[in-house]
Amino acid sequence: ARSLAAAWAVGAVCVTAGDRGAFVARADGEPAYVPATVAHGDPCGAGDRFASTVAVALARGEGLVPAVVAAVASASAWVAAGGAEGYRRRADSPADRTPGAAREHAPDRASGAPTPSGAAQDVPPSDPDGPEAVAARLRAAGGTVVATGGCFDILHAGHVATLEAAARLGDHLVVLLNGDASVRRLKGPQRPVVGQADRARVLAALDCVAAVVVFDEDDPRAALDRLRPDVWAKGGDYTEGTLPEAETVRRHGGRVVVLPYVDGRSTTSILERSGRFAPGVPTLTEETTA
């Protein structure tokens, strides 16, 4: 997508990848990956559904990546509902000639993606051997190593969507997890509400995660310099700017992909709704150590 955008001197290019979803990129900046939400079904008509949804979203003033996110979801729902043949059956059925009938067959967008073939079983909560040993072990098993990172404090649907999307970019997903001291420096003294050992254990229990490595620095560059993943998947808002850690990843031959956030889901918003940040209320970490 980036190469075509540069060669054609256009604002952006989107490359669809069938049941994997779509990649969208400008000539500069990091490409974004939007995973599909259904892997099997009749794809006839999915491309038209994708293109028309993108066109309508852009005409309504949506941003580039949000438009592609909407289009991938629409095409996924179309495939799950039976594609062109499913549409014909619904059109021929008097019972289904009601607005929104096709949407009844749409997949649950929170259901996630299939487990990648390289997902590890029985992994420890946090690998004690360090990034180099983790990379060596996973590469010995064959396939590519994908890494993503973050605090993952109070795991929620947005986190899971990001992790599942990252796992689909390769064979083995390694999570670089901010340690407790790092989270406190980044998020404030009331965070994390869940300690690093428990956060690592929850992440390691996910089928899409092959290994968890805790790091203590404020950003993952040092850990990435040691892990040297084939792909660094970063969840966040799409931006033309280069991520600070991109140079580290590319120096070792890796590539960087941005994973759009799931709207309306964040640890901060969950804590605010629960009243967790009310004055005088201790964090879970404080309660545990008190």
Of 19, 28, 42, 48, the catalytic one is 48
Q: How many CB atoms lie within 10 A of CB 154?
A: 20
- The answer to which of 43-52, 76-85, 105-114 has the lowest mean pLDDT is 105-114
Q: If you average pLDDT over residues 219-232, what whole number do you get? A: 96
Residue 202 has pLDDT above 90, yes or no: yes
CA distances from 165 to 33, 68, 187 (A): 8, 15, 25
- Cα 268 to chain center, whole Å? 18
CB 118 within 8 A of CB 141: yes
Q: Which of 31-40, 44-53, 107-116 has the highest mean pLDDT?
A: 44-53
Q: Using 50, 70 and 90 to split pLDDT, how confident is the model at 255?
A: very high
In 3-state terms, what secondary structure has residue 270? helix
Q: Report the pLDDT value the prediction gives residue 101, as an integer from 0 to 100.
A: 35
Residue 91 has pLDDT above 90, yes or no: no
Backbone angles phi, psi at 149, to 5 degrees: -155, 170
Cβ-in-10-Å burial (0-12, 13-18, 19+) of 112 comes to buried
Strands across the sheet containing 231-235: 13-16, 21-25, 32-35, 255-259, 231-235, 145-150, 172-178, 211-215
Written as one string, the DSSP assignment of 129-179 is THHHHHHHHHHHTSS-EEEEEE---S--HHHHHHHHHHHTTSSEEEEEEE-
Cα distance between the two ends of the chain: 53
Q: What is the mean pLDDT of the chain?
A: 80
Written as one string, the DSSP assignment of 22-69 is EEEE-SSS--EEEE-S--SS--TTHHHHHHHHHHHHHHTT--HHHHHH
Dist. CA 107–CA 109, nearest whole Å: 6
Q: If you average pLDDT over residues 212-226, what whole number do you get? A: 95
Dist. CA 28–CA 226, nearest whole Å: 26
Q: How many CB atoms lie within 10 A of CB 70?
A: 19
Tens-place pLDDT, residues 137-194 = 999 999 999 999 999 988 888 889 899 999 999 999 999 999 999 999 998 888 888 9
Residue 136 has pLDDT above 80, yes or no: yes
Dist. CA 138–CA 124, nearest whole Å: 14
Q: Does 153 participate in catalysis according to the annotation? A: no
Peptide bond into 192 cis (omega under 30): yes
Q: Using 50, 70 and 90 to split pLDDT, how confident is the model at 89?
A: confident
What length does the chain have? 290
- The percent of residues above 90 in pLDDT, for the chain, comes to 50
More confident residue, 249 or 42: 249
Q: Report the pLDDT value the prediction gives residue 184, as an integer from 0 to 100.
A: 93
Q: How many CB atoms lie within 10 A of CB 232?
A: 27
